Chain A
Amino acid sequence: MSRLHYDEMRASDGSVRPHYQGFADWLHRTPAEKIAQKREEAERAFHRVGITFAVYGEDAGTERLIPFDIVPRIIHAAEWRLLEQGLKQRVNALNLFLNDIYHEQSILKAGVMPADRVLGNSQYRREMQGMQVPGGIYAHIAGVDVVRVAEGEYFVLEDNLRVPSGVSYMLENRKMMMRLFPELFARQAIRPVEHYPDMLLENLRGVAPAGEDQPEVALLTPGAHNSAYFEHAFLAQQMGVELVEGQDLFVQDDAVFMRTTRGPKRVHVLYRRVDDDFLDPLAFRSDSMLGVPGLFAAYRAGKVTLANAIGTGVADDKSIYPFVPEMIRFYLTEEPILNNVATYQLHKKDDLSYCLDHLSELVVKEVHGAGGYGMLIGPAASSAECDAFRARILAQPEKYIAQPTLALSTCPTFTASGLAPRHIDLRPYVLSGKAVNLAPGGLTRVALREGSLVVNSSQGGGTKDTWVMAG
């Protein structure tokens, strides 16, 4: 592979970067058979532990493993400090933005961004207007996708502010690495992430309705057939809170209760992993079997906190994304620490014609798409694919945005033909409550196909443990 891409482990002259030296030494002195054996051990263990994700479509109802690669993604201390500051800054601004657009709308009045873009967005929830949420926090848990293109240079690809998933892989990958390679952890100062569930619980308790000294937290899941069910169960267990489904809850006098073997029990904070639309059949989609009738009324009455809040989707929408740097300047009067990717908005005439002329260089995404579906990666696409996409864009330009193809960094990864560079991204989890916090690390996803830039597990991506070095 060419050295056009920044490699996490090796500098362009081929030398090992200092923070990778410990791992590189280990790799060098460990026989290939031993490594192969460790990789098999990891696969077996993941199967037994049952860290799987359900698959939709063909083979429905089966469970698959997300491939795990044993080469860690390592971030040195100074760089993490930069990332941490940048992420906190960004999530802070996004929460201020959400609070603003559901109240004064000062950012719209100041003309920083077009009002119709926000208020006319399908993810904007009119029902939330004027409603006070504890601490003014909307996105209690954010999973911000960042990629590196050069030393100290990170770009944010997406701010996932609805029900971001994947944190269980961060925790299980670490557990697996510590089990397989205890000697690596003994020799190096790798910052722990295992306390994430405690941080999350504290964060959730901190946003309980006012006046609750001992708030009861529960995790609301769509159920065992959801693709992220493992994670829901895992987090509920790690936090020591009930894992509830809609059928386990009911609302009485605007308060939410669980059905228990000892009668009804009040719930104050719901960490919900159910989408807005399905939360309450009385308020949103009436055909939802996953929700709780009356939940929204209880929420409005301030008797239960939902995390994340309803209506956060407007802030992570791809059509709002280009304005995040402006939000940071507007609310915090700071310069953004992390970069935004230049974004062409195809409803604009100039942007559209530029995009159509440069389709083979750009990544085109659907505005409301997620999960790597419905996107075109220009440099990797055939001319027939480009033509097909061109037709789709022309039919509904407002449905798309385009971005330059970023040179995602690579990390050495085990492949069928040995260790080879593969592109990676990073999803750290930012918690907002009484304070803004994040565990040092995140989920590193890796595109396992050579040259591929798509890291989504639904598209053949794998994961790696993410090490943040102390110091």
Chain B
Amino acid sequence: MLCRTANELYWMARHIERAENTARLLDVTYRMALLPYETIEPGLAWAEPWAVPLITSGLATDFYESHQHLSAENVLRFMILDSANTSSIYCCLRAARESARAVRGAITSEMYEDLNSAWLDMRVYDYNRIQSSGVSEFLDWVKMRSHLFRGVTFGTMLRDEAYHFIRLGTHIERADNTARILDVKYHTLLPSAADVGGAVDYYQWSALLRSVSGFESYRKIYSDVITPRRVAELLILRADMPRSLLSCMNFIHETLRVLCDDSSREIERVAGELHAKLRYGRTDEIIKLGLHEYLLDFLDSISALGAEINTHFLVPG
């Protein structure tokens, strides 16, 4: 496959996945912001939820360059509709569609049509329309478009190199995003240890689980109260949880084994190492190190792996 084609496919997948995860991130923020904190626990100080998606996506600086105030509306506009923010849902859907257009020949026509119609729909959204039909409705729509695209890809595409590069892009992006969403909780600081396990804490963890479609799974697996330890286990170490870090790394490792040949053993090694760390990791160690620190470390590693993939397969020098 052409390097240029592989690059477009990889980024097409990353962008559609990023659109979905931005929707998830906004969804958890929205849910957290709706919590009637004062009613549940009067006098509890809590961080401004709308700062969280900006911090976890590393976009706070960009945001404050064009906005003076932190508000739900400003953050939603910035993260959903801003054509200058390359991570906004608008830009992600546009970029995914542009990539698809550039490599139409490498994907099925159903896949292109799917991304094209998502983009055509996206273009008619503005803030008022999103508000009037409901923010959650809109975020659900973004998630559905992403699901649909994955389904069309899974259901129509030949299992060739193109497919593998798409899968690679999807899971690299998802691993990165799950780690960021999981870190949301770190940034919505609770004032004291006494509040841990309180009602607010419970609602925040459950919002977070819901945002990664993990709430029902959690109930099924643990049939018990939500604890940070279990959430970490579920979203980091469980192979059967499709958005967990281990699950993503399983896909990445497996895909790279297909794509790599003798000239690319180093990538396979880097991926293998990261995979092994998750595969044989223990919740105790994560908690001991600190969830936030663990996640930061993981984000560095996955970004390094992304850079390796880039220089070897996608944009060779």
Contacts and interface: CB of A to CB of B under 8 A. Distances in A.
A371 B68 CA distance: 52
Nearest to B116: A50
A276 interface: no
Interface string A233-266: 1101100001111011000000000111111000
Nearest to B7: A261
Contact of B3 (A48, A50, A233, A259): A259
Contacts of B116: 48-50
A245 B113 contact: no
Interface in A53-107: none
B4 A262 contact: no
B41 interface: no
A47 interface: yes
Contacts of B105: 233-234, 236-237, 242-243
A135 B105 CA distance: 29
B2 A50 contact: no
B4 A261 contact: no
Contact of A49 (B1, B98, B113): B113
A244 B4 CA distance: 9
Given A224-B101, A242-B2, A48 B161 contact: no
Interface in B78-98: 98
B174 to A, nearest CB: 22
B103 A243 contact: yes
Contacts of A50: 101, 104, 112-113, 116
Contact of B104 (A233, A248, A258): A233
Contacts of A49: 109, 112-113, 116
B287 interface: no
A47 B2 contact: no
Interface in A6-59: 47-50
B1 A260 contact: yes
Interface in A148-191: none
Interface in B107-152: 109, 112-113, 116-117, 120
Contacts of B5: 242-243
A244 B259 CA distance: 21
A227 to B, nearest CB: 14
Contacts of A248: 2-4
B3 A261 contact: yes
B104 A262 contact: no
B120 A47 contact: yes
A243 B161 CA distance: 15
Interface residues of B, number: 26
Interface string B281-297: 00000000000000000
A262 B4 CA distance: 12
Nearest to A239: B105
Nearest to A63: B101
B251 interface: no
A259 B4 CA distance: 8
Interface in B1-42: 1-6
A61 to B, nearest CB: 11
B43 interface: no
Name the interface size band of chain A. Answer: 20 to 34
B203 interface: no
Contacts of B263: 263
A261 B6 contact: yes
B113 A261 contact: no
Interface string B226-267: 000000000000000000000000000000000101010000
A233 B5 CA distance: 12
A262 B262 CA distance: 10
A277 B113 CA distance: 34
A48 B120 contact: yes
B113 A258 contact: no
Nearest to B98: A224
A108 B161 CA distance: 53
A261 B1 contact: yes
B112 A261 contact: no
Contacts of B4: 245, 247-248, 259
Contacts of A259: 2-4, 316
A237 B161 CA distance: 15
B44 interface: no
Given A48-B117, A244-B2, A261 B101 contact: no
B313 interface: yes
A224 B102 contact: yes
A260 B259 CA distance: 12
Nearest to B114: A48
Contacts of B259: 261
Contacts of A224: 98, 101-102
A38 B53 CA distance: 45
A245 B8 CA distance: 13
A445 to B, nearest CB: 24
Contacts of B6: 261
A236 B1 CA distance: 13
Nearest to B107: A237
A52 to B, nearest CB: 10
Contacts of A244: 2
Nearest to B3: A259
Contacts of B161: 261
Contacts of A263: 263
B12 to A, nearest CB: 13
Nearest to A242: B2
Contacts of B313: 261
Nearest to A234: B104
Interface in A184-240: 224, 229-230, 233-234, 236-237
A259 B161 CA distance: 15
A259 to B, nearest CB: 5
A22 to B, nearest CB: 29
A243 B4 CA distance: 10
B2 A260 contact: yes
A194 to B, nearest CB: 14
22 contacts: A48-B120, A49-B109, A49-B113, A50-B101, A50-B104, A50-B112, A224-B101, A229-B101, A230-B104, A233-B103, A236-B105, A237-B109, A242-B5, A243-B104, A243-B106, A245-B4, A258-B2, A259-B3, A259-B316, A260-B1, A261-B161, A262-B1
Interface of A: 47-50, 224, 229-230, 233-234, 236-237, 242-245, 247-248, 258-263
The 9 closest A-B pairs by CB, nearest first: A237-B105, A233-B104, A236-B105, A243-B105, A50-B116, A48-B117, A261-B313, A224-B102, A233-B105
Given A48-B120, A49-B113, A260-B1, 4 more contacts: A50-B116, A260-B2, A261-B1, A261-B259
